[in-house]
Amino acid sequence: MFASTGRLTDLVCGNAAANEIWSPRATVQAMLDVEAALARASALHRVIPPGAVEAIVAACNADNIDGDALMTGAQAGGNLAIPLVKQLTAVVKASDAEAAKYVHWGATSQDIIDTGVVLQLRAALDLFDADLRSLSDGLAQQGDRHRATPMIGRTWLQQALPITLGLKFAQWLDAVTRHRQRLAELKARTLVLQFGGAAGTLASLRDKALPVAASLAQDLRLTLPALPWHTQRDRIAEAASFFGMLTGTLGKIARDISLMMQTEVGEVAEPAAAGKGGSSTMPHKRNPVGCAAVLTAATRAPNLVATIFAGMVQEHERALGGWQAEWEALPDLARLTAGALSNIVGIVAAMEVNVERLAHNLDVTNGLVLGEAVMLALGDAIGRLDAHKLVEGASKASVAKGTSLFDELAANETVTRHLSQDQLKQLLDPANYVGEAQAFVAAAIASANSKQQEQ
């Protein structure tokens, strides 16, 4: 028998920590944590008898809840909170019938569900914070290690001009640094209490409404918003947008790595591990399985983000479908993003780099990718257009005859009149035509380090 209640692929594109945060038990426990905090806050302001708190709080343990009955009740009631409160009340009543009268006092179902989701979001964002820090460190180390390692830059999947491998790491790092800033801003806006009662007025709590709300927020370590936000879903949509953008960046990294890992390219490889990346039929295969998981997440994420965005259009004071659409979309999106992030963290930290292949691939065009460098040097003497025409002709001859660009240019009188062979060799050395690559690497690392110090 299978012991797991999750999907068989939960660890292919997710990770254990994120899966636990959004597990059925954790979801129920988050809502019960809100119910327990509500009892404490209500008793503090004498809305309910202080003597009722102990029994209510003691009952707020997910182990007391029948999951199957909860699922069946949610089908009938339209949400999880209604059958949850029913079961919770029964558990409290078994130990203290008087205390059972005060379960869920003054709240509505959405208060419990939304605030529970915010508690889960907080745990998830803390997980992202730690992994983004690890990814930033890994990218900075790789960028620094390879800041001067030449490689070919590619545009439209074709060889373009030399860059450095460090620059590629730096480009990824720069995006990650921005995501870390977004995450900090997201926490401030999203980790807030939801507590409005039946129609968002807290009328049931009379003059104790605002004091109870403030104490509830303090108990749960959440910010107290200016007012309830039942059908204003921008906070949830911002979280989804962050997940979607981060997954897109991770997907870009995975795409680059997997392309560089192709047999014919062979410039980098995912870390080797027992049983990782093999084929069921081809013993020689070493598949980029980590990248595949990330790219799967990047493929699925946009539609999940779109679902949450579409659900923002809600009716009056309580949604009919839009809010409910978040219940599976947001956890799925968070799990996918967490899995993609942990995969990239592991890949970057122990990535294998084949410097010889990087050098070999720089030379597969016999120097043609350095034609621009020669053209600009000649342009100072004979003009840019004439220099372009000359180098273009030499490049075509090189391709037609299978010779190097150096051989063709060194045999051209116009070239040798203005450039010595040593100058020509210098111009055709990829390491001498990477522009400000190393400076850009340093800038990206400095920016990332500055972000580290802020936190």
- Per DSSP bridges, beta strands 158-164 and 268-269 are unpaired
Give the burial string for 231-260 (b: 16+ CB within 10 Å, else e). bebebbbbbbbbbbbbbbbbbbbbebbbeb
CA-CA distance, 132 to 182, in Å (whole number)?
12
Q: How far is CA 367 from CA 118, 129, 160, 218, in A?
A: 57, 44, 11, 66
Active site residue 279: yes
For every residue of 211-274, DSSP letters joined together read: HHHHHHHHHHT-B--SS--TT--HHHHHHHHHHHHHHHHHHHHHHHHHHHTSTTT-SEEPPP-T
Q: What are the helix (H) ranges across 45-164?
A: 53-59, 67-77, 81-95, 109-145
The catalytically annotated residue of 40, 286, 318, 357 is: 318
Contact predicate 418/381, CB 8 Å:
yes
Q: What are the helix (H) ranges across 311-436?
A: 322-349, 355-362, 371-382, 384-401, 405-410, 413-418, 421-427
How many angstroms separate the first and last alpha carbons of the chain? 46
- Per DSSP bridges, beta strands 150-155 and 158-164 are antiparallel
Task: Please state the φ and ψ torsions of residue 150, each to the nearest 5 degrees.
Answer: -70, 145
Active site residue 318: yes
Q: How far is CA 393 from CA 36, 158, 210, 386, 408, in A?
A: 79, 20, 80, 11, 9
The catalytically annotated residue of 7, 145, 221, 279 is: 279
Q: Is 79 helix (H, G, I), strand (E, B) or coil?
A: coil
Phi-psi region of 277 (alpha: psi -120 to 50; beta: other; left: phi over 0): left
CA-CA distance, 192 to 236, in Å (whole number)?
11
DSSP 280: S
Please state at what angle helix 234-260 crosses helix 165-190, rounded to 10 degrees.
170
Contact predicate 424/408, CB 8 Å:
no
Give the burial string for 314-325 (b: 16+ CB within 10 Å, else e). beeeebeebbee
Q: Is 353 helix (H, G, I), strand (E, B) or coil?
A: strand
Going by C-beta distance under 8 Å and a sequence separation of 6 or more, which residues neighbour residue 261? 267, 268, 269, 270, 288, 291
Active site residues: 279, 318
